[in-house]
Structures are given as structure tokens and as C-alpha cells.
Amino acid sequence: MISYDFVQELADKATKKGKCISALVLADQALQMERSQQDLIEEMNKSLQVMAEAASKGLNSGSKSASGLSGGDALKMKQAIHAGQSLGGMVLSETLAKALAIAEVNACMGRIVAAPTAGSCGIIPAVLLTLKEAYDLTEAQVVMSLFTAAGLGMVIAKKASISGAEGGCQAECGSAAAMAAAAAVELMGGTPQMSAHACAIALKSVLGLVCDPVAGLVEVPCVKRNASGAANALIAAEMALAGIESVIPVDEVIAAMKAIGDAMPKTLKETAEGGLADTPTAKKMAREIFR
Amino acid sequence: MNVFDIIGPIMVGPSSSHTAGAVRIGKIARAVSGGQPATVTIELFGSFAQTYKGHGTDKAIIAGLLGMAPDDERIKDSLALARELGMAFKFKKSSNKAFHPNTALIMATDSQGKKTIVQGSSVGGGRIMVNRINEINVKFNGEYYTLLVPHHDTPGMIAAVTNLLADQGINIAEMNMYRSQRGGEAMMVIETDQAVNEELVSLIEAVNSVKKAVLIKPIY
Ligand code: SF4
């Protein structure tokens, strides 16, 4: 049985057994849940289908949310890509577009998979689905990589938090990016140790990020933070795959995130009383929405 | 916690606590009142009261009352659907700060005029805690097969009911007794590991002093 207390434990066990983190997590979860591995794979595959549907829906809809605060950005991104305006290469641009798309579907009360939360639901699918298309990976490979993401996410949830109300946006979009980075490394053939470093690198980049949604709604800055979270995951994975290591070990980074989250004032943890939510423009918008 | 708590649930956005959790509270109210109510009044507290329009908390609770699951794409059209299906509804905002910030109090009336009250809080990640059924304060999360057994507080009740469960090989995961006062109205809340069938519900209802038994299936 795995305790899910340390990411390093996952990486070391996988290394010792010559397995991927995903295979380790899948085998353990099948045991703990008393279900067959095939059964878990099928359930995870369902989530992947919902993720893909949300991405394609969001890329084509362009509709606004009920509050009017978000919507239409994914479509703009897609049009820019079609017009050949990609600055950072197609993988990055396509990732941004999908992350925006899924987050917009969420804001419009569409169907998504919380990963790990609804607010951060665009990050993991945007990264993994884009890599799948760009590098001709199979659906089965992507499903497996979701077990890596989930395994690391369980550690983060246990030792720190995955909720904006508890730990700020570092805990939501930060955790999603860290999980996506580790999964992306595995998907692209990196080692379990590289996955652990990617997780640490992604998380370190957003330590301290507060949760400050305008009017308390999961839209501004959330939709665009899904895009930046996905980009964060890609760059962390790319560095880790190049052999770059995190100087601070991954589990110490997670502990630091927890400490920072605890020290964060309540006004910056989803209460919409501080940060961007407390700007004149945000307050004006909130008044109009809730009039 | 397992992998599907992290990658999952599949749900309709935008917020697990304000939308998915709210659907579940509505679903519990539907189960307790024994089907779709004729009219409902829903009082919202705390953050539910402040942000319900933007998060679609109102649509989510109504969707739950109509029997929808948290991943049903019709949730966003539930208000119109309720009107079509003849369920009248009204929302009230409360500034009472005594409750958990994401709390809804649902007062449902069926076509016979029977009233049911269910109060629940959305406690994060789409999980909920039901904290009131009619006049009795309770505590359960709806993740198990849950039996609500309102009865008159008399000796031997617990044994009478739990023996019926044991006879069918049903294991009790958690069980609690709540009562308004000694010898008064009481409620047993029994959460079980195995599925409970309607036959067992009727057997429990036949026990002396039991007024009725309500079965709530896991809402996940
Ligand atoms: S700002 Fe808050 S609500 Fe928005 S994505 Fe980040 S953690 Fe979630």
C-alpha cells in the first residue's frame, strides 16, 4: 500500500520497480478500492472523454457566462492560431486555447471534470490533450498519465491543500499545474524522478498566488489562470525533461505551499475581499452583477 | 481519498461547492419529501446568498429537487424546466450568520400539503452535510445508503431496527440518534455499507413507534 504522504516516495518506489508512477498508483488504487485495474482505467477514460468534449465545446462556442464576466477568449485564441499568430509555437498556443476553452465551459455551467477542482479544470486536460495531438500519443497513454497526476494530487491534497479557500490559488491552479507537469513528463518518456522535479518546479513558480475571484465567481482571473497554469506545466515539464532539477526537494516545496497558504490572510482566500476582487473595477462589476 | 476524488467528479460548473454541492442538497430534499414537491421555498445563507446568481446555486438546487445528478447538462435550464414540470419555487436570501457559509434551507410542500424541511451545507469539493430534517438537527453526508427513521422516543427502538438490518446481512457504517426531547420526537440516522432495498424499508416502517422510514441512496 502507498501512503501518499510523499511524492518522493512515489518516484523512488517506481524507480526501484522499474515502473512508471502511473502503473504504481493504478495497482495500488485497485487494491485499496477493491476493484480491478481495468475497471479503474475505464472510469478514468470516461473522465478523459468529458475533458475532450469540454475542450472542443469551449473552442467552438464563444458564448458568455451568466454574469458576463467571461467567455469568448478561447475562440479568439483559436482564431489567432489559425491566422498563424503563434508566438511560442503551436504546442503552447494550442494548450492555451484548450485551457481557456475548458475553463469557459465551466463558467457557463457546462460539463467538466474537476482536476483537481472545478476552478482549475482546464489545466491538466489542456496540457495532456495537446501533447496527445502533437506527438501522436494514444488515448490509453493519456489515461495512464492521469493516474500519475492523481497520485501526486493526492499527496498535495493530503499534505497541503487543493482548495483556493484553504490555500489560495497556488493550491488550486498551482497544484493542477504541478500535477500536469509530472504527467506530461511521464507521457513524453521522462523518468519518475523527472516527474517529481517537474512537479516541484511548477509549484515553486506560483508559490504565494492568492485566490481573489472577482465577485466571488470562478471567472476572473480564474479562466486566464487556467491558461497560465497550463503554460507553467509545459515549461516545468520541458525543464525537467532536459534534466534540470529542483534544488528544493518536491515534498519540501509542498510543505512550503502549505505554510504559505496558512499564513495567507482570509481576504485572499476565495472570500472576494482582497486582491483583484477588491479593485475599483471588480467592485463595480460585482455591484452590477448582484444588483 | 482515492484517485477519483482528485481527477473528478465529473460535474457541471462553475464551482464544486456552489454548484455540485447545491445539486446534492436539492437531491436529498427530494428524497426526504418523497418525490418532486409541488412548491418549494429555499432560503440561502452566507456565500450561497451572496453569489447564488453567478454560481447558478439556485439552478443547482432546483435541478437536485427535480432529480438531476451534478453532471446533468440540463442544470442550467432547470428553472424553466421546473416551471414546465409544475414545481413552483421561491428563493429568499438570509443574512443570518449562525450557519455554515454555504447553507440552504429547503421547505418543500407536496401536492397533499405535507411539508418537509431539509437544511444542508456545502462543505467543499462538492461534498455536503445535511444538518436538519424537519424539526430535528441531524448530521450526515449522503455518501452512503442512508436510512432516516423518525419515531417516538421509546425504549428498545434501536435494537428493533438494527436487528432487521442484521437479518439481511447489512453492515452499519454509522448510526446516530437525534431527539428533540426525552420521550418526544426522535430520528435515527443509519448509514450502511450495503445497499438497502424497499422491502427492508417497509419492515422497518412496521416496527412499533416508527412513524416512517426514508431511504436515501448515495448521491455520488
Ligand atoms: S482565483 Fe480562486 S477561484 Fe479562481 S481559480 Fe484560483 S483558486 Fe480557484
* Cα B197 to middle of ligand 1, angstroms: 42
Mean pLDDT of B49-61: 90
Residue A149 and residue A183 in contact, taking contact as beta carbons nearer than 8 Å: yes
- Cα B159 from chain centroid? 25
Mean pLDDT of B169-175: 94
Residue A248 and residue A256 in contact, taking contact as beta carbons nearer than 8 Å: yes
Domain-embedded: residue A58: yes
| Cα–Cα dist A116/A148, whole Å | 13
- Alpha-carbon dihedral B62, B63, B67, B68, rounded to 10 degrees: -170
The DSSP symbol for A276 reads G
Reported pTM: 0.90
Nearest by CB to A217, which of B1, B5, B54? B54
Q: For residue A90, what are the contacts with CB-CB under 8 A and spacing of at least 6?
A: A81, A134
Could you list the pLDDT tens digit for every one of the 291 residues in chain A?
899 999 999 999 999 999 999 999 999 999 999 999 999 999 999 999 999 999 999 999 989 999 999 999 999 999 999 999 999 999 999 999 999 999 999 999 999 999 999 999 999 999 999 999 999 999 999 999 999 999 999 999 999 999 998 999 999 999 999 999 999 999 999 999 999 999 999 999 999 999 999 999 999 999 999 999 999 999 999 999 999 999 999 999 999 999 999 999 999 998 889 999 999 999 999 999 887
Closest C-alpha to B203, from B162, B155, B145, B172 = B162
B54 vs A contacts (CB less than 8 Å): 66-67, 69, 215-217, 219, 289-290
Contact criterion met (CB < 8 Å) for B3 and A150: yes
Domain-embedded: residue A188: yes
Contact criterion met (CB < 8 Å) for B8 and A47: yes
Predicted-complex ipTM score: 0.96
Domain-embedded: residue A93: yes
Q: Which residues pair with B177 in a beta bridge?
A: B188
| Cα–Cα dist B210/B124, whole Å | 34
B133: amino acid identity, one letter: I
For B3-134, which CATH superfamily applies?
Answer: D-3-phosphoglycerate dehydrogenase; domain 3 (3.30.1330.90)
Ligand 1 pocket mutation, candidates A211, A224, A264, criterion most atoms within 8 A of CB? A211
Residue A118 and residue A125 in contact, taking contact as beta carbons nearer than 8 Å: no
Contact criterion met (CB < 8 Å) for B14 and A154: no
Phi-psi region of A89 (alpha: psi -120 to 50; beta: other; left: phi over 0): left
- A-interface mutation test, from B3, B52, B220, most A Cβ less than 10 A away: B3
**Residues of B numbered 81-140 whose beta carbons fall under 8 angstroms of chain A's beta carbons: which are they?**
124-126
CA distance A86 to chain B (A): 29
Q: Cα-flanking dihedrals φ and ψ of residue B112, to 5°?
A: -90, 0
Q: Looking at chain A, which residue has its C-alpha nearest residue B19?
A: A109
Domain-embedded: residue A252: yes
* Cα A274 to middle of ligand 1, angstroms: 13
Atom of ligand 1 nearest to the CA of A164: 7
| Cα–Cα dist B52/A26, whole Å | 38
Name the domain count of chain A: 1
Q: Per CATH, is B145-216 categorized as 3.30.70.260?
A: yes
Contact criterion met (CB < 8 Å) for B50 and A150: no
Confidence at residue B113, expressed as pLDDT on a 0 to 100 scale: 96
Give the CATH number for residue A246.
1.10.4100
Q: Looking at chain A, which residue has its C-alpha nearest residue B76?
A: A109
Contact criterion met (CB < 8 Å) for B7 and A44: yes
Residue A155 and residue A195 in contact, taking contact as beta carbons nearer than 8 Å: no
Domain-embedded: residue A261: yes
Confidence of residue B90 (pLDDT cuts 50, 70, 90): very high
Confidence at residue A210, expressed as pLDDT on a 0 to 100 scale: 98
Nearest by CB to B13, which of A33, A40, A112? A112
| Cα–Cα dist A5/A162, whole Å | 15
Confidence at residue A291, expressed as pLDDT on a 0 to 100 scale: 78
Nearest by CB to A216, which of B19, B50, B59? B50
Contact criterion met (CB < 8 Å) for B54 and A216: yes
Contact criterion met (CB < 8 Å) for A116 and B47: no
A113 vs B contacts (CB less than 8 Å): 7-11
Nearest protein CA to atom 2 of ligand 1, as residue = A211
Question: Residues with beta carbon inside 6 Å of ligand 1?
Answer: A 119-120, 164, 169, 172-173, 211-213, 218, 221-222, 225, 270
- Domain residue spans of chain B: 3-134, 145-216
| Cα–Cα dist A288/B17, whole Å | 23
Q: What residue has cell string 508566438?
A: A87
pLDDT over 90, % of chain B:
79
- B-interface mutation test, from A24, A109, A146, A163, most B Cβ less than 10 A away: A109
Confidence of residue B99 (pLDDT cuts 50, 70, 90): confident
Domain-embedded: residue A72: yes
CA distance B41 to chain A (A): 20
Q: Using the predicted structure, report yes or no on whether residue B220 has a pLDDT greater than 70.
A: no
Nearest by CB to B51, which of A114, A163, A217? A217
Confidence of residue B185 (pLDDT cuts 50, 70, 90): confident
- Expressed as residue numbers, the domain containing A40 is 7-289
A43 vs B contacts (CB less than 8 Å): 4
| Cα–Cα dist B164/A109, whole Å | 43
Domain-embedded: residue A2: no
* DSSP labels, chain B: --HHHHS--EEESS-IIIIIHHHHHHHHHHHHHTS--SEEEEEEEHHHHHHHHHHTHHHHHHHHHTT--TT-GGGGGHHHHHHHTT-EEEEEE----SS-SEEEEEEEE-TT--EEEEEEEEEETTEEEEEEETTEEEEE-SSSEEEEEEEE--TTHHHHHHHHHHHTTPPEEEEEEEESSTTSEEEEEEEESS---HHHHHHHHTSTTB---EEE----
